[in-house]
Amino acid sequence: MKNLIVLFLMLSVAAFAGEKKSTDKTTAQKSKMGHSAEMMKAGPGHAMISVPTLQCNNCVNTVTAAVKKVKGVESVKVDLEKKIAHVNFDAKKVKVADIEKAIAAAGYDANKVKRDEKAHANLPQCCQSKK
């Protein structure tokens, strides 16, 4: 009889351990799903890219055209007054760094990415900045 009780206790401990394990697994799956749902929310993404050397509407057009050419970019709005490019993009297709590079290649500093000096020298006079 004592043996039976011990066996029963061992079984319930084993069952409890098994149950706990499966609960952990479910939690892990849930958080994984939550994560991917978040990632889906993250694309299309939005970035505010600082373009400090914007001077005029010509610059706005140049930067707008350069950003629009980047694959994965959905829309771009350049704020001349605040010197910020607002970009909506598909985060699965393009990174902010790629957009910064495109702006720099067009002759403008973008966040911490320095402009291509050659491209900058080829901009209309009104768009060139001393810096």
Nearer to Cu ion, 73 or 123 (CB): 123
Nearer to Cu ion, 3 or 125 (CB): 125
CB of 65 to Cu ion, least distance (A): 13
78 belongs to the binding site for Cu ion (CB under 5 A): no
Cβ-closest position to Cu ion: 127
The radius of gyration of the chain from alpha carbons, rounded to an integer in Å, stands at 28
Query: How buried is 43 (Cβ within 10 angstroms: 0-12 exposed, 13-18 middle, 19+ buried)?
Result: middle
128 belongs to the binding site for Cu ion (CB under 5 A): no
Residue 103 one-letter amino acid = I
Subset of 38-57 contacting Cu ion (CB under 5 A):
55-56
Tokens of 6: 């011990």
Q: Which stretch binds Cu ion (CB under 5 A): 44-52, 67-75, 98-106, 121-129?
A: 121-129
Nearer to Cu ion, 63 or 102 (CB): 63
Nearer to Cu ion, 55 or 90 (CB): 55
Note the residues at the interface with Cu ion (CB under 5 A): 55-56, 58-59, 126-127
